[in-house]
Amino acid sequence: MHDTPAAGPAGPADSAASIASGGTAGTAGVPGVRELTTAQKASLTSGADFWHLQGVEAAGIESVMVADGPHGLRKQPAEADPIGLGTSLPATCFPPAVGLASSWDTDLLRRVGEALGAEARAENVSVLLGPGVNIKRSPLCGRNFEYFSEDPFLAGRLGAAYVHGVQSQGVGTSLKHFAANNQETDRFRVSADIDERTLREIYLPAFEHVVKDAAPLTVMCAYNKVNGTYASEHHFLLTEVLRGEWGFDGLVVSDWGAVADRVKALAAGLDIEMPPSGTDAQIVAAVEDGRLTEEQLDAAARRVVTLIERTAGARVEGAVFDADAHHRLARSAALSSAVLLKNDGILPLDPAGTGRIAVIGEFARTPRYQGSGSSLVVPTRLDNALDAITALAGPERVAFAPGFALDGTPDPGLVADAVAAARDAEVAVLFLGLPAGTESEGHDRTHIDIPADQLALLAEVHTANPATVVVLSNGAAVAVADWQDRAAALLEGWLLGQAGGSATAELLFGLADPSGRLTETLPLRLADTPAHLHFPGSEQHVRYAEGLYVGYRYFDSLNAPVAYPFGHGLSYTTFELSGLSVVRGAGNTCTVTATVTNTGARTGTQTVQIYVHDPASSVDRPVHELKAFGRVTLAPGQSEAITLHLDERAFAYWSAAEHRWKVEARTVEVRAAFSSRDIRARESVELPGDGVFGPLTAMSSLREWLGHPIGGKLVGPLLEKLAAMRPPADGADAERGGGERSLPEMVAGLPLGKLAMFGAFAGAGAMFTPADLEALVAAVDREIADASA
């Protein structure tokens, strides 16, 4: 097993190159940017064409190529079409992020990254445009298949592993789409309106972790606006947060066409516009008239030159890749990506059995294995499940019926054939899924349903043969609640890449154990999802009104029913968890240990998920949040201890009042689970807090004073006086229940200054006067300053 943090950047032993380090002044033998003319520097800050950066030939700065990403190389031939969506050279199509993420396997992500890097290097591509770590805010987002999770911690860990892998090959990555790009509707204009805490806790941390842990060479800014400002012109995001707070020293590239005003964008921290808009002269003019400083232009140009230098390892003569080995890796990735949602015992099928198998559904023969848009890969090979099942079970056992037409046209003849095949078989394996056109970059879905003609087919097949297994092909959550009773087993195949067909067959026959776990909650209905009333917004604004309560943070906080919870996934074996221990380390850090035992009869893989629950936070918090995870593969009867680390951030929330991460001194609960709804053990741990004391003022409430480690002590004498003042427990007040409550509780929400103001009416006999208040505030200021010094 391996621990949560991504493995180091080391590539395979034979990996030829790694990212060249440092270098801020220009490529070897190339003049520093200061020696370039303003026009030459301006030219560096936009592309040469759709896929190439602009070089400066006179200065020996070469023009390098970038290409999509993320789950396969999409290098277009030289004669690329004007919008860059046409054909591309064959490359291994790995499972898109929706599949890869379900593995919860950082080691796998790193190995897939290495393979992607090797393919890019073989094609002289210097930067692969991925990974996408945007949060799945709504299941409707058309690009959810390209993203990892509804959970920022998981998305960050997987994204970092991917970046380590690609960059170990000397090829750069582009972490995208920064930031808050969570829908396709109106993506070029919409403003994602998000409160500060939600931005920090949900929409930024995956980017933050990847930047800090894996140092992607580039970050791609999003198309959309964030709180009214284009991501491409967002000084706060691009400069203050990304570079200032997170220490990013790479290059910021625009998403393709994301720049509205190139001068503003450069001033905000963007380095290069892609594809070029032919406006280099505007940059020169802006430097001349002072709207941009020479230093700002130098910084952007220098970062372009540095990128070229850092990716020198990507441009080596004669680099090749092993397409067969990559196909095998794509298969093992697909094996780890599928999630077994339900199984009444019908799976695995017996490869040596004699009963007939009806394979039904066009997707068995014509697989859906990736989504549409800029990530579309032309695969080197394509497995299909029908061939693989036939090869494993023998042709005499298998009957195929397409059951439905891919374009959704109802066809009673196809249904009748499928029903006949199911009736004659011991088991029917029915491949259902979403039509290719529904999941794509550029538009969102409007519902989460499997097409009606396919569900009608399922009803008939199930009536003919209740031993029906359903395999799904879809890139984002679909509703299963209304029909899953008709499936004896349900395998969520997501989109599994070019080897998904053979992997599916292996899983069905138990040649591999299903080990995928959900990285997004499957709701009962679309209307249950937290962003439902605020997606995709209107009049160019989308309000993230659900705040922090995205995915399981919402469903679990409400204990609302779901079809399948975050983290869920069955195996062909069973597991137990025992011996949870949580030991505090330095400051607010912990080491969590637990033992996992395979209690079944087959080898299998379990993913231990660690959630943190703060029962008494001073701010509202989701009931629990994922803060660590680890996979373990065990033989029958085998046990293994798993150790995971929780750092300070695992316990922190973003204080919008103090604009910082804050850890409170308190006892929190650490939960070890097999899904967000399958908590196996809980242990409490006392945290000292971060020792940073927030300010208190006259407008802070008595409750805030009491909850403050310093203020609480200073306000003690006042509290004693208040406690002595119990309201009468009889008469009208008692009828209202007033006598039941002590005075301090009644005034707990009152700003201290108001207490002093009321005290002023009482004159000299007041228990708390404005002068007392002034002294108290001065004392607390002094003590906070001393404690923080």
Chain residues binding ligand BGC by CB under 6 A are 68, 84, 129, 176, 255-256, 374
Q: What is residue 661's three-state secondary structure? A: strand
Q: How far is the CB of 758 from ligand BGC (least distance, A)?
A: 59
**Token pair for 151:** 């959970």
- Closest distance of CB 384 from ligand BGC, Å: 28
- 84 or 604, CB closer to ligand BGC? 84
* Closer of 129 and 364 to ligand BGC (Cβ): 129
Shortest CB 697 distance to ligand BGC, Å: 46
**Residue in the structure block whose two tokens are 């940073």:** 692
Cα distances (Å, whole numbers) of residue 83 to 88, 93, 274, 375? 13, 21, 12, 13
Closer residue to ligand BGC, CB minimum distance, 184 or 417: 184
Cβ atoms within 10 Å of 359's Cβ, excluding its own: 29
- CB nearer to ligand BGC: pick between 76 and 597: 76
68/520 with CB nearer ligand BGC:
68
Burial of 761 (0-12, 13-18, 19+ CB in 10 A): exposed
- Provide the b/e sequence for 203-228 (b: ≥16 CB within 10 Å): bbbbbbbbbebbbbbbbbbbbbbbbe
CB 337 within 8 A of CB 95: yes
CB of 154 to ligand BGC, least distance (A): 20
User: Which residues make beta-bridge pairs with 401?
Assistant: 360
Between residues 104 and 147, which has the closer beta carbon with respect to ligand BGC?
A: 147
Kindly tell me which of 82 and 763 has the beta carbon lying closer to ligand BGC: 82
Kindly provide the residue ranges of all beta strands, DSSP E only, lying in 448-505, ordered along the sequence.
Answer: 468-473, 489-492
Single out the residue of 424, 48, 74, 72 nearest to residue 273, CA to CA. 48
Peptide bond preceding 95 in cis form (omega within 30 of 0): no
CA distance 203 to 136: 10
Tell me phi and psi for residue 660, to 5 degrees. -160, 160
Residue type, 394: G
Q: Which is nearer to ligand BGC, 187 or 326 (CB)?
A: 187
Phi, psi of 678 (to 5 degrees): -125, 70
Tell me the C-alpha to C-alpha distance, in Å, between residue 305 and each of 9, 25, 45: 23, 8, 10
Specify the residue, 129 or 592, whose C-beta has the smaller distance to ligand BGC.
Answer: 129
The answer to whether the beta carbons of residues 104 and 333 sit under 8 Å apart is no
- What is the bridge-based pairing of β-strands 639-646 and 590-598? antiparallel
Closest to 670 (Cα-Cα) out of 634, 625, 639: 625
Q: Measured between alpha carbons, how far is 599 from 142 in angstroms, rounded to an integer?
A: 40
Local structure of residue 399 (DSSP, 8 states): E
Task: Check: CB of residue 85 under 8 Å from CB of residue 161.
Answer: no
Q: With contact defined as beta carbons under 8 Å apart, do 143 and 137 qualify?
A: no
Our CA angle for 607, 612, 614, nearest 5°, is: 160
Q: How far is the CB of 66 from ligand BGC (least distance, A)?
A: 8
CB burial of residue 737 (10 Å; 0-12, 13-18, 19+): exposed
Say how far residue 486 (Cα) sits from the centre of its chain: 32
Q: Which is nearer to ligand BGC, 262 or 342 (CB)?
A: 262
For residue 493, what are its two tokens? 């195949």
Which amino acid is present at 673? Answer: A
Question: CA-CA distance, 705 to 723, in Å (whole number)?
Answer: 16
Q: CB 747 → ligand BGC: shortest distance, Å?
A: 54
Nearest to 658 by CA among 636, 690, 634, 626: 690
Query: Is residue 255 among the annotated active site residues?
Result: yes
Chain CA centroid to CA 203, Å = 9
Number of C-beta neighbours around residue 411 at 10 A: 15
Strands 541-543 and 191-193, bridge-based pairing? parallel
Q: Minimal distance in Å, beta carbon 708 to ligand BGC?
A: 46
| Residue keyed to tokens 């947060």 | 241
What residue type is assigned to position 509 of the chain? F
CA–CA distances in Å: residue 195 to residues 169, 181, 661:
39, 15, 15
Q: Which residues pair with 522 in a beta bridge?
A: 564
Q: In the bound complex, what is the minimum distance in angstroms from residue 496's beta carbon to ligand BGC? A: 21
Q: Is the peptide bond before 5 cis (omega within 30 degrees of 0)?
A: no
Q: State the catalytic residue, choosing from 68, 105, 255, 280.
A: 255
What's the rounded Cα separation, in Å, for the pair 605 and 615? 31
* Residues known to be catalytic: 255
